[in-house]
Structure 1
């Protein structure tokens, strides 16, 4: 029995299933979470299926999470999707169920759960959820689940332009697009920004510091975010922007938190940046990672390390 069949058997076995995803979610985290929930509901209408985690207004178009009491976890199957390590799981009750499954596409540095399915070759967990559906004939796909999984793939592939996009990714997207939903609306929704975000985009382009090597960084303070009437979750839409500049090889966006520390969003067009992220309390993909800087001193350290990493990469390519 392969891993996808094992997961199906566990889903079949439990009457209550609770699905978690990572904190500060993106379209793939929500798409895979709620897309999987929709598939299970369509297949097993009698089961109780819940999606938990903080609700963000900007993602209402994908769906809304459930508020459940602690006792619901008793004898429940818990599935954590798109979450590389345990501290990032949204809602720490994830380990209070009867059985825990991890489904993820990040490097498996934190091996947790009774059953793990990790595919680092997948473009997204949404792609993996489609593969789970495709591998088990009993599972049923709804139009809304197809919409959610397609949105997750579009989000995590950067509109199909990131290196993790494969021919299989396009095949899955094509199969999902046959269901009754608008791919155009999804594209518009994922590209859509409001006036405050447009001002933030302008600030990033105007204040981005680019080194000679091509590493770049910008710092977004609490005051800036508050003055623009934005929340920390809103800044995630701005992460790809520095990559649109041809001379930028990799970049870090530092977002100040309420405790004065900084959340770091790291992205790269070539150099692997996940090991750097691990040195600063984070991790992720080689070209897309996150970390934390406790103060200005650590910010400077990360900036210098990123610059050195970029210099080495550029030198090797000469």
Structure 2
């Protein structure tokens, strides 16, 4: 299928690349990393990356200005996005041909070409695998972006999705010229206000005897620490550092009153719970949505039931 994707890239002059809303390093790394690969190998093509510019990740990449007219006769590629409601910039349907490249469970099959590899650690790993397989060269900037995405989605190579193939691709990317140490420091650091929020999470984390844990971050709490919803991503892994915690949920109240639910687990599969609550994701790392405190309780009970 990689050859089919390459053929479509060769066929189109304008290529517009999308990714998911509320981007993380892998979303941006795969999206803009692919853009840089195409530009490097096909300098005459017009390649654009579209979506919201997340301020906390401005150091990873910036988006392009994309007009409606740009979609005429354009190839559209969506990376790192499991389902269509999560695609950032709803104009993705306005192109002439659509390709999906992703590593999440393929519950929403979309696109004229749909390439999904759930064994890959990240969408960035898939993009690098694609380039290597079809013989496309990488620039230093493409390598930096893809390496950033892999490091982000593997939790610095700590998560079970890290395979020997992941490490081989990361090793390949490290051959290029970018400041690996500075990148690693940047990904492992956070602001003082996020550090204080991390302390709050430890102080307010409820741990059930089953090993299920939860914490609620209200709008009032976010305002108190002066953090945005996006910045709370920095504390998602915090409960898992406690040895007695096996699975956990972080409930983040949104401005409209519903709750964004970040679900994580060390061994038990939790994406089935996420799917029951307007979400989905990887077996051990998922997201959901809750529309009441009662639904929050239900989700937490379902986490506890995993150990019944």
Could you state the TM-score of these two structures normalised by the residue count of structure 1?
Answer: 0.96
Q: 1:274 aligns with which of 262, 267, 271?
A: 271
Deviations 1:128-150 (CA, angstroms, capped at 9, x unpaired): 1011110112x220001000000
1:9 matches 2:20 = no
Paired with 1:268 and 1:23, the residues of 2 have a C-alpha distance of: 23
Deviations 1:76-117 (CA, angstroms, capped at 9, x unpaired): 100000000111111111111110000000000000111011
- Which residue in the other structure is 1:41 paired with? 39
Paired with 2:167 and 2:43, the residues of 1 have a C-alpha distance of: 30
User: Which stretch of structure 1 is more off in the superposition, 209-218 or 69-78?
Assistant: 69-78
CA-based RMSD of the aligned residues comes to: 0.7
Paired with 1:84 and 1:63, the residues of 2 have a C-alpha distance of: 21
The alpha carbon displacement at 1:226 in A equals 1.4
Paired with 1:22 and 1:205, the residues of 2 have a C-alpha distance of: 30
The alpha carbon displacement at 1:66 in A equals 1.2
Could you state the TM-score of these two structures normalised by the residue count of structure 2?
Answer: 0.99
Unpaired runs of 5+ residues, structure 1, are 313-318
1:185 matches 2:172 = no
Q: 1:28 aligns with which of 26, 29, 38?
A: 26
- Which residue in the other structure is 1:219 paired with? 216
Q: 1:292 aligns with which of 284, 289, 295?
A: 289
- Which residue in the other structure is 1:147 paired with? 144
- Which residue in the other structure is 1:86 paired with? 84
- Which residue in the other structure is 2:102 paired with? 104
User: Which stretch of structure 1 is more off in the superposition, 60-69 or 168-177?
Assistant: 60-69
Preserved contact between residue 75 and residue 97 of structure 1 (Cα < 8 Å): yes
Paired with 2:283 and 2:69, the residues of 1 have a C-alpha distance of: 39
The alpha carbon displacement at 1:230 in A equals 1.2
- Which residue in the other structure is 1:53 paired with? 51
Paired with 2:83 and 2:27, the residues of 1 have a C-alpha distance of: 14
- Which residue in the other structure is 1:116 paired with? 114
Preserved contact between residue 126 and residue 149 of structure 1 (Cα < 8 Å): yes
Paired with 1:250 and 1:51, the residues of 2 have a C-alpha distance of: 35
| Secondary structure of the corresponding residue to residue 49 of structure 1 | strand
The alpha carbon displacement at 1:46 in A equals 1.0
Paired with 1:207 and 1:231, the residues of 2 have a C-alpha distance of: 19
Unpaired runs of 5+ residues, structure 2, are none
Name the count of aligned residue pairs: 308
Paired with 1:226 and 1:49, the residues of 2 have a C-alpha distance of: 38
The alpha carbon displacement at 1:67 in A equals 2.0
- Which residue in the other structure is 1:250 paired with? 247
1:163 matches 2:160 = yes
Paired with 2:282 and 2:161, the residues of 1 have a C-alpha distance of: 10
Preserved contact between residue 40 and residue 140 of structure 1 (Cα < 8 Å): no
Q: Runs of 4 or more off by more than 3 Å in structure 1?
A: none
- Which residue in the other structure is 1:72 paired with? 70
Deviations 1:1-40 (CA, angstroms, capped at 9, x unpaired): xx11111111111000010011111111100001000000
| Secondary structure of the corresponding residue to residue 288 of structure 2 | strand
